[in-house]
């Protein structure tokens, strides 16, 4: 049976640290027995000190509410009575239990000594694909009533409901999955092994038939694969709706509250025309046009009519998911004929079931690996794809994934081949009408001469403004210290019992001979490890010499120009790299001979040995790639390549990254992509500069006559929905010090925040300015009612910071580079967008510098041909964060006065939707905002 009595506890406190004097201000407990909440207890607690304003904002609990409440010592006996003979349970149990133990000891009572369950840990195992394990997001997922997040009674109730839900989910797992999960549960941080053991015992008493949608193969339960569709040729009935009436009738029949969008219909027709006449086309579609449906509808009709697949490439996973789960599903329900759409990614995204099966036979002693194995076992009962992007893994889990991911086959008889996820995805894609992929896979397919995607002639590239950058990254090389250490560390010397040790054991067992004896090769590996450390030491010292010229900045970049790479100053690094490459070649040859000898004995190997061999082949692929990267970056770089070092001076060599990219990819894209395809459709909301596509076309290698262009403006009425304000009493940054400038904008931002009551996104171009502004505003004491969140300062990803920002009434979010696009905050959650500076790339940024030199050598103006259009596109993306729906309203503030004073400033205003522009001092701006909002 599930432990008889579980007490779910939640605490609200004045802060995070009882050691620093923080106290409990509210305690709630829910008693769970036999899958039901049977009792509850809640009380405010007088902490004997003022509640900080941030905690008041977060919890809604103020000093008045706890003024007459009992002190903790008064409620301690009741709490201990509830906990007597129970399991203590909480969401992040270490925090709540640790805090409670501290308060019990301070009140003179013995601490609680029973077992504990952590519902965060339980959620990770039970819901391995959840985006977040925060309590509010889990309660939203299951529509639990969580009326007052961050108040103990509401939080404890939701945690208890989640606990009951998780227990029910676990009980439904196949017996074999439960047995494997239970065997790994002793490595968890809380005592959940008690829970798994009791659920397993109950399951064994009433063994039921396995779910018909599941199968058990080689001791692992997994969801049965979807049937591969029969190949259908073009459908004669699929006639594209040419006129407005036909399109309106089609959409209105399936779309509640359908409103005709002229821009969307125009886009549909332009896409259809390009596909049927084998032309390339570039379409800028403003926010609200409905571009996804604008290209999907004609793509499906074309694919069915022509009997050929259409490839659809996006830059972000979010858009891929949105297309598959929303738009494509909508089309499937709307059209009177069927079509197949599949998602296909690079093989490293997919689980190798044979490797994973063998990893389960290993003795586990690492927390991250144990919980990742448990997550994968549960996930296999629900996943159709085997794609790692579905999983929410820890950083340690990601490292484990590198061992079990797919990278092709190196042994002949993989028993899992009939159930292989990657092979299934490829087979599905061969029968698909629409193949959804990402820019990286699209470019990998070019490099591999079309071996990754089924043959196609028509492709749609959404988020096309990322194509040039994706191509530079893809055709480039990257060597970073930590990744290198991880890759080469998998080999290990004999004493470390890693891959080399396993290989030598097999060599001995099967009497395979090689040129070098084990101990000789062991010495060579040790020698290589010393060489590579020496190499990074030399490169780091050269990096540090350069960095002394730039005082006060911690994260720096240093471009390795062709002249520097061939200079005497750089020769020690080149010689060191040559020694590393030589040693790598020597080891590669020896390992290759060993693998060849073992492969000849393949029929004699057991499954564990075959899996080790697979792992070694995967490792040798990474090794070979790393060696070629060293060679291409340091010894055979072309003069037009951009090579640079970057790192944080506080953590070298760990933070050291070496990158190499082509300065211009246009020519390569034209020859290997555009010239090879019948139709390429590129679309995004930000492709034009001052209504011209010229800059984008040159960047991707399409001259004016190579592609048609269409601009479809946003249907939103920006002149009524938004205003742009430029303060006149902020100094121009070039005329004052950074600290003076930061002080001026912090003063203005405080005034604006008070007028807008938060709901403000502040975008910076440099982290140093963001940090100084955030700290100054926080320390001012004028925004104590506000929650300030900043990228790189507050914990969490961009998505998590955005979600947290939306949860608070009075919130200010500070962001740099990645926040300028892809952040979607519709409605009243965002009322004010502040752009601190026009987003020009720093002149010493390596790629910008190299592109400028390249343009100069061609007799062109680098500022007007590159720096300005690049900044305008980023500015457009930034402004695009504010208005996401036709009901949104808001104000844009641009602090950078160059938008008015510089002769090029007009180009920024001409490139965004038409909106009223005002100038004035702080008090005028505040009046305008108050009146406007």
Residue 510 belongs to what H/E stretch? none
> Minimum mean pLDDT among 77-86, 231-240, 529-538, 876-885: which range?
231-240
pLDDT in tens, 590-641: 999 999 999 999 889 999 899 899 999 999 999 999 999 999 999 888 888 8
- Residue 549 pLDDT exceeds 70: no
pLDDT for residue 547: 65
Structure tokens of 504?
């030598």
Of 639, 662, 685, the one marking the end of a domain is 662
Is residue 813 in some structural domain? yes
Nearest-5° angle of CA 511, CA 513, CA 517? Answer: 110
- Residue 131 pLDDT exceeds 90: no
State the DSSP code for 843.
T
pLDDT in tens, 787-829: 898 888 877 677 777 877 787 778 899 998 777 876 777 667 7
What count of other Cβ atoms lies within 10 Å of the Cβ of residue 501?
16
Is residue 398 in some structural domain? no
Q: Long-range contacts: 605-611, Cβ < 8 Å, 24+?
A: 605/506, 605/510, 607/354, 607/357, 607/358, 607/415, 608/358, 608/361, 609/506, 610/354, 610/358, 610/411, 610/413, 611/354, 611/355, 611/357, 611/358, 611/359
Average pLDDT, the chain: 90
> Minimum mean pLDDT among 259-263, 273-277, 928-932: which range?
928-932
pLDDT in tens, 556-597: 888 988 888 888 988 999 999 999 999 999 999 999 999 999
Half-sphere exposure of 155 (CA within 13 A, CB side): 22
pLDDT for residue 422: 94
Structure tokens of 688?
């034009």
Residue 774 and residue 625 share a domain: no
Residue 648 and residue 772 share a domain: no
Is residue 334 in some structural domain? no
Residue 266 belongs to what H/E stretch? helix 262-276
- CB-based contacts of 781, cutoff 8 Å, min separation 6: none
pLDDT for residue 175: 94
Q: Please say whether the beta carbons of 885 and 686 come within 8 A.
A: no
Residue 596 and residue 504 share a domain: yes
- Residue 233 pLDDT exceeds 50: no
- Residue 494 pLDDT exceeds 80: yes
Is residue 300 in some structural domain? no
Q: Which residues are annotated as a binding site for ATP?
A: 285-292
Q: How far apart are CA 496 and CA 69, in angstroms?
A: 59
Confidence of residue 843 (pLDDT cuts 50, 70, 90): confident
- Residue 553 pLDDT exceeds 80: no
Residue 187 and residue 92 share a domain: yes
Is residue 555 in some structural domain? yes
What's the CATH number where 847 sits? Answer: 3.40.50.300
For residue 438, with 0-12 CB atoms within 10 Å meaning exposed, 13-18 middle and 19 or more buried, which class applies?
buried
Residue 657 and residue 539 share a domain: yes
Residue 648 and residue 723 share a domain: no
Q: Please say whether the beta carbons of 45 and 125 come within 8 A.
A: no
Q: Please say whether the beta carbons of 349 and 440 come within 8 A.
A: no
Confidence of residue 322 (pLDDT cuts 50, 70, 90): confident
Of 208, 237, 269, the one marking the end of a domain is 208
Return the SS3 of 919.
Answer: strand
Q: How far apart are CA 269 and CA 681, in angstroms?
A: 12
pLDDT for residue 316: 83
Q: How far apart are CA 488 and CA 470, in angstroms?
A: 27
Q: How far apart are CA 434 and CA 674, in angstroms?
A: 20
Q: Of 359, 413, 423, 416, which Cα lies nearest the Cα of 385? A: 423
Of 619, 638, 662, the one marking the end of a domain is 662
Residue 728 and residue 656 share a domain: no
Residue 654 and residue 563 share a domain: yes
Residue 127 and residue 17 share a domain: yes
> Minimum mean pLDDT among 36-50, 523-537, 829-843: which range?
829-843
Is residue 119 in some structural domain? yes
Section 520-537 average pLDDT: 96
- Residue 364 pLDDT exceeds 90: no
Residue 124 and residue 24 share a domain: yes
Residue 599 and residue 728 share a domain: no
pLDDT in tens, 715-769: 999 999 999 999 998 888 888 888 899 999 999 999 999 888 888 899 999 888 9
What's the CATH number where 45 sits? Answer: 3.30.420.10
Residue 614 and residue 732 share a domain: no
pLDDT in tens, 390-430: 999 998 999 899 999 998 888 778 899 999 999 999 999 99
pLDDT for residue 151: 87
- CB-based contacts of 216, cutoff 8 Å, min separation 6: 174, 176, 210, 222
Is residue 450 in some structural domain? no
Question: Considering its fold, how many domains does the chain have in total?
Answer: 3
Q: Which residues are annotated as a binding site?
A: 285-292
Is residue 272 in some structural domain? no
- CB-based contacts of 306, cutoff 8 Å, min separation 6: 234, 275
Domain that holds residue 803: 718-932
Q: How far apart are CA 648 and CA 163, in angstroms?
A: 43
């Amino acid at each position: 049976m599930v432990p008889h009595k579980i007490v779910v506890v939640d605490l609200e406190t004045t802060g995070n640290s009882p050691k620093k004097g923080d106290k409990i201000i509210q305690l709630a407990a829910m008693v769970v027995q036999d899958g039901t909440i049977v009792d509850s207890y809640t009380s405010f607690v007088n902490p004997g000190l003022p509640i900080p304003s941030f905690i008041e904002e977060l919890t809604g609990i103020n000093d008045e509410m706890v003024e007459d409440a009992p002190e903790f010592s008064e409620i301690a006996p009741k709490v201990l009575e509830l906990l007597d003979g129970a399991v203590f349970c909480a969401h992040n149990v270490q925090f709540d239990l640790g805090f409670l133990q501290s308060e019990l000891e301070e009140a003179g009572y013995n601490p609680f000594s029973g077992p504990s369950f952590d519902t965060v840990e339980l959620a990770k195992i039970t819901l391995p694909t959840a985006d977040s394990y925060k309590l509010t997001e889990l309660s939203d997922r299951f529509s639990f009533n969580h009326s007052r997040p961050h108040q103990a009674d509401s939080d404890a109730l939701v945690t208890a409901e989640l606990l009951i839900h998780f227990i029910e989910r676990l009980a439904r797992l196949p017996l074999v999955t439960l047995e494997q999960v239970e065997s790994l549960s002793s490595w968890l941080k809380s005592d959940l092994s008690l829970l798994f053991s009791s659920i397993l015992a109950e399951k064994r008493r009433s063994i039921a038939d396995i779910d018909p949608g599941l199968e058990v193969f080689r001791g692992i339960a997994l969801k049965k694969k979807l049937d591969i569709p029969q190949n259908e040729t073009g459908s004669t009935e699929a006639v594209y709706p040419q006129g407005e009436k036909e399109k309106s009738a089609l959409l209105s029949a399936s779309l509640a509250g359908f409103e005709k969008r002229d821009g969307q219909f125009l886009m549909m027709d332009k896409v259809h025309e390009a596909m049927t006449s084998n032309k390339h086309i570039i379409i800028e579609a403003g926010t609200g046009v409905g571009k996804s449906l604008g290209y999907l509808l004609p793509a499906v009709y074309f694919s069915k009519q022509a009997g050929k697949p259409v490839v659809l490439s996006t830059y972000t996973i979010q858009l891929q998911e949105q297309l598959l789960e929303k738009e494509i599903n909508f089309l499937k329900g709307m059209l009177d004929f069927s079509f197949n759409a599949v998602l296909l990614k690079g093989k490293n995204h997919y689980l190798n079931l044979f490797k994973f099966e063998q990893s389960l036979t290993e003795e586990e002693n690492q927390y991250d690996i144990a919980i990742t194995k448990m997550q994968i076992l549960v996930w296999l009962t629900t996943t159709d794809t085997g794609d790692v992007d579905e999983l929410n893994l820890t950083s340690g889990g990601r490292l484990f994934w590198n061992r079990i991911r797919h990278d092709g086959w190196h042994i002949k008889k993989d028993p899992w081949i009939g159930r292989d996820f990657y092979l299934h995805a490829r087979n599905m894609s061969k029968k698909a009408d629409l193949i959804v992929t990402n820019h990286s896979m699209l470019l990998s397919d070019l490099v591999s001469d079309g071996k990754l995607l089924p043959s196609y002639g028509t492709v749609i590239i959404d988020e096309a403004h990322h194509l040039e950058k994706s191509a530079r990254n893809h055709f480039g090389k990257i060597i970073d210290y930590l990744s290198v250490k991880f890759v080469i560390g998998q080999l290990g010397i004999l004493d470390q019992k890693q891959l080399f040790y396993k290989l030598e054991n097999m060599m001995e067992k099967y009497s395979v001979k090689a040129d070098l004896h084990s101990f000789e090769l062991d010495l060579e590996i040790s020698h290589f490890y010393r060489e590579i450390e020496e190499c990074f030491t030399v490169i780091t010292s050269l990096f540090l010499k350069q960095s002394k010229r730039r005082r006060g900045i911690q994260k720096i970049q240093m471009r390795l120009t062709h002249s520097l790479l061939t200079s005497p100053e750089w020769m020690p690094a080149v010689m060191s790299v040559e020694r590393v490459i030589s040693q790598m070649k020597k080891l590669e040859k020896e390992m290759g001979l060993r693998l060849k000898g073992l492969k000849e004995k393949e029929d004699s190997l057991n499954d564990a040995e075959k899996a080790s061999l697979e792992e070694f082949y995967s490792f040798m692929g990474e090794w070979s790639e790393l060696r070629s990267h060293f060679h291409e970056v340091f010894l055979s770089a072309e003069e037009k390549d951009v090579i640079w070092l970057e790192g944080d001076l506080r953590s070298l060599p760990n933070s050291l990254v070496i990158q190499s990219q082509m300065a211009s990819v246009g020519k390569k894209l034209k020859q290997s992509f555009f010239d090879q395809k019948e139709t390429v459709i590129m679309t995004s909301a930000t492709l034009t500069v001052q209504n011209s596509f010229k800059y984008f076309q040159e960047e991707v290698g399409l001259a004016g006559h190579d592609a048609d262009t269409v601009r479809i403006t946003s249907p939103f009425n920006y002149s009524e929905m938004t205003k742009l304000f430029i303060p006149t009493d902020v100094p121009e940054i070039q005329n004052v010090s950074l600290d003076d400038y930061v002080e001026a904008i912090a003063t203005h931002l405080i005034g604006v925040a008070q007028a807008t009551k938060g709901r403000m996104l502040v975008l910076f171009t440099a982290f140093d300015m963001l940090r100084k502004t955030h700290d100054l505003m926080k320390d001012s004491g004028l925004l104590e009612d506000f929650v300030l969140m900043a990228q790189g300062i507050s914990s969490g990803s961009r998505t998590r910071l955005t979600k947290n920002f939306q949860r608070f009434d009075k919130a200010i979010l500070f962001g740099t580079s990645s926040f300028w696009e892809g952040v979607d905050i519709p409605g009243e959650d965002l009322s004010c967008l502040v752009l601190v500076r026009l987003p020009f790339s720093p002149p010493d940024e390596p790629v910008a510098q190299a592109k400028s030199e390249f343009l100069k050598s061609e007799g062109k103006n680098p500022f007007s041909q590159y720096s300005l259009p690049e900044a305008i596109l980023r500015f457009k993306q930034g402004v695009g964060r504010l208005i996401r729906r036709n009901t949104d309203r808001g104000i844009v503030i641009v602090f950078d006065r160059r938008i008015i004073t510089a002769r090029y400033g007009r180009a920024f205003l001409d490139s965004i939707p038409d909106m009223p522009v005002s100038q004035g001092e702080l008090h005028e701006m505040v009046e305008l905002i108050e009146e406007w909002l």
